[in-house]
Amino acid sequence: SRSSASLFKVSKEQALRNARQLYEKERADQKSHIHMIVIGHVDAGKSTLMGHLLYDTGNVSQRVMHKHEQESKKLGKQSFMYAWVLDETGEERARGITMDVGQSRIETKTKIVTLLDAPGHKDFIPNMISGATQADVALLVVDATRGEFESGFELGGQTREHAILVRSLGVNQLGVVINKLDTVGWSQERFNEIVTKLKAFLKQAGFKESDVTFTPCSGLTGENLTKQAQESGLTSWYSGPHLLDVIENFKIPERAIDKPMRMSVSDIYKGTGSGFCISGRVETGVLCLNDKVLVGASREQAQVKSLTMDEFPQTSVFAGDQVSVTLPAVDINNVTVGCIICDPQTPIPVTTRFQARIIVFNVKVPITMGFPVLLHHQSLIEPAVVCKLTASIHKSTGEVVKKKPRCLGNNSCALVELETSRPICIERYADFKELGRVMLRVAGVTIAAGMVTKIR
Ligand code: GDP
């Protein structure tokens, strides 16, 4: 029977070619998947825009839309009907704001886009961080209304903060939506003014000019969302892509198939027959039936005896797949939620201490040496302490601002060392993007997020 050992017994180049060919042969006809976060100042129109986009792409039924329309009419808030597609809970409706990172999907010609809708309210930045750590690309929504763009961008608004945050968490493709252009009579001058200001800022924040687009829209009227612009005020000067095209044109993040196999475990349950069943996501590489693997920090060796995806048996699965495996005869104590299963030839580092570049939000007391946190890494939640404050660094440029700072307050960016109580499996962000992101939480609130830079 086939196992990936046979794929990797050949030269490294040949092995990579084999893995890629196997993937292309088995998955030729499937759409690629992308995770998109929507960011921007509160009231920029994010929910309305995304609700309208979901409706226009046929992802919300007429029936549901009709229900939202009726309810919003009753409350005299009809302009909210699209926003409600995303805000499903009553509390959010009553307050008229989006609170958590809700999820929805849009299917385009070539892509399945999972939306991570980010809240705009200031207190909710911690929720946005958890969305941003999963995002491949971002849409930044700004309100073109006179005075509103300015308050969201210059006067303590969240436009800058959000853009810097997603960039810090590794997102590099950004679609900027210049929204609510209906409120300024579709003015080209206003559009250009905003683009000029944002361009300069985004460059400074570390975005490459070629990875950023600017699209004029109205989320409320639906102008330029999924169809070529119709409004004469806009068509007189704009003939570029509509928003759905922008989304369609995002580059697909490479599935890291050519890397050593890593699977993160998100669930463990008793299977039928012997052993138990483990489900999770293949983060990198290829996993085949009968492959030998190492389990978690214990590095116990096991063999893959069954492999399924959506309940269907598979002979091989790839980076990005959500799968279930059985590993007979493995010690149950060695398999835990959050642990990583890896390829024995190039195993994942196991450590209790590593350095991370973090960005700090929402701490009530500043972070000092010895600060206790809960470390979140994929599905792993592990007690840890901040055991060293190495340097505070500039948010956009990454330059060291101060060595060995005494404490770290809100909105600071820093290099710190973290120590976990038990050994964990972790990778550097530079080596494995998928396994090099962490979040720090205290009492249910995310206080920092970042990337692993060094492993002890
Ligand atoms: P969010 O906080 O960014 O999610 O913003 P919402 O989608 O809740 O919108 C905030 C307000 O702006 C609501 O009253 C919307 O009806 C209004 N709004 C949203 N998009 C547009 C637009 O394109 N044009 C106009 N004129 N108003 C809009």
pLDDT tens for each residue of 306-354: 999 877 899 999 887 878 999 988 888 899 888 999 999 999 999 999 9
Asked if the model's pLDDT at residue 99 lies above 70, the reply is no
pTM: 0.71
Model confidence band, residue 356 (pLDDT cutoffs 50, 70, 90):
very high
Model confidence band, residue 102 (pLDDT cutoffs 50, 70, 90):
very low
Model confidence band, residue 177 (pLDDT cutoffs 50, 70, 90):
very high
Distance between Cα 270 and ligand 1 center (Å): 48
Asked if the model's pLDDT at residue 2 lies above 70, the reply is no
ipTM value of the model?
0.99
Give CA separation, 317 vs 20, 138, 253, 262, 295, in Å: 12, 28, 18, 12, 18
- Atom of ligand 1 at shortest range from CA of 183: 26
Asked if the model's pLDDT at residue 435 lies above 50, the reply is yes
Rg (CA), the chain: 23
Asked if the model's pLDDT at residue 269 lies above 50, the reply is yes
Give CA separation, 450 vs 246, 324, 360, 367, in Å: 28, 29, 9, 15
Contact by Cβ (8 Å): 327, 335 = yes
Helical H segments across 57-124, by residue range: 62-74, 83-86, 90-95
Asked if the model's pLDDT at residue 239 lies above 60, the reply is yes
Pairwise pLDDT comparison (13 vs 150), residue with the higher score: 150
- Atom of ligand 1 at shortest range from CA of 51: 7
How crowded is the C-beta side of 455, counted as CA atoms within 13 Å?
A: 19
Asked if the model's pLDDT at residue 294 lies above 80, the reply is yes
Cα distance between residue 197 and residue 98, in whole Å: 27
β-pairing, 300-303 vs 137-143, is unpaired
- On average, the pLDDT of the chain sits at 84
Over range 41-58, report the average pLDDT. Answer: 87
Over range 380-399, report the average pLDDT. Answer: 90
Asked if the model's pLDDT at residue 69 lies above 90, the reply is no
Pairwise pLDDT comparison (223 vs 89), residue with the higher score: 223
- Residue found by looking up tokens 């060595």 in the block: 403
Distance between Cα 248 and ligand 1 center (Å): 24
Cα distance between residue 91 and residue 97, in whole Å: 9
Range with the largest mean pLDDT of 54-63, 280-289, 441-450? 280-289
Over range 182-208, report the average pLDDT. Answer: 93
145 lines ligand 1 (CB under 6 A): no
Model confidence band, residue 89 (pLDDT cutoffs 50, 70, 90):
very low
Give CA separation, 99 vs 35, 43, 115, 117, 157, in Å: 19, 12, 15, 9, 17
79 lines ligand 1 (CB under 6 A): yes
Contact by Cβ (8 Å): 225, 243 = yes
Distance between Cα 83 and ligand 1 center (Å): 8
Model confidence band, residue 280 (pLDDT cutoffs 50, 70, 90):
confident
Mutating to test ligand 1, I would choose from 37, 47, 79, 143 the residue with most ligand atoms within 8 A of its C-beta, which is 79
Q: Which two tokens stand for residue 41?
A: 């100042």
pLDDT at 360: 87
Pairwise pLDDT comparison (128 vs 303), residue with the higher score: 303
Over range 393-415, report the average pLDDT. Answer: 89
Model confidence band, residue 118 (pLDDT cutoffs 50, 70, 90):
low
Cα distance between residue 145 and residue 95, in whole Å: 22
- Atom of ligand 1 at shortest range from CA of 40: 3
Asked if the model's pLDDT at residue 174 lies above 70, the reply is yes
pLDDT at 1: 44
pLDDT at 95: 46
Distance between Cα 42 and ligand 1 center (Å): 9
pLDDT at 226: 95
Distance between Cα 214 and ligand 1 center (Å): 19
The size of the chain, in residues, is 456
pLDDT at 79: 67
Task: Name which of 111, 107, 100, 102 is nearest 136 in CA terms.
Answer: 111
Model confidence band, residue 209 (pLDDT cutoffs 50, 70, 90):
very high
Distance between Cα 4 and ligand 1 center (Å): 51
- The protein residue with its alpha carbon nearest to ligand 1, atom 9, reads 45
- Atom of ligand 1 at shortest range from CA of 218: 23
Asked if the model's pLDDT at residue 427 lies above 60, the reply is yes
Q: Which two tokens stand for residue 326?
A: 């059985």
pLDDT at 84: 61
Contact by Cβ (8 Å): 191, 198 = no
- The protein residue with its alpha carbon nearest to ligand 1, atom 16, reads 79
pLDDT at 98: 44
43 lines ligand 1 (CB under 6 A): yes
Contact by Cβ (8 Å): 392, 357 = no
Asked if the model's pLDDT at residue 80 lies above 80, the reply is no
Over range 171-193, report the average pLDDT. Answer: 96
Asked if the model's pLDDT at residue 126 lies above 80, the reply is no
What are the tens digits of pLDDT across the range 241-263? 999 999 999 998 777 888 999 99
List, in sequence order, every residue forming a beta bridge with 115; answer none if it has no partner: 36, 104
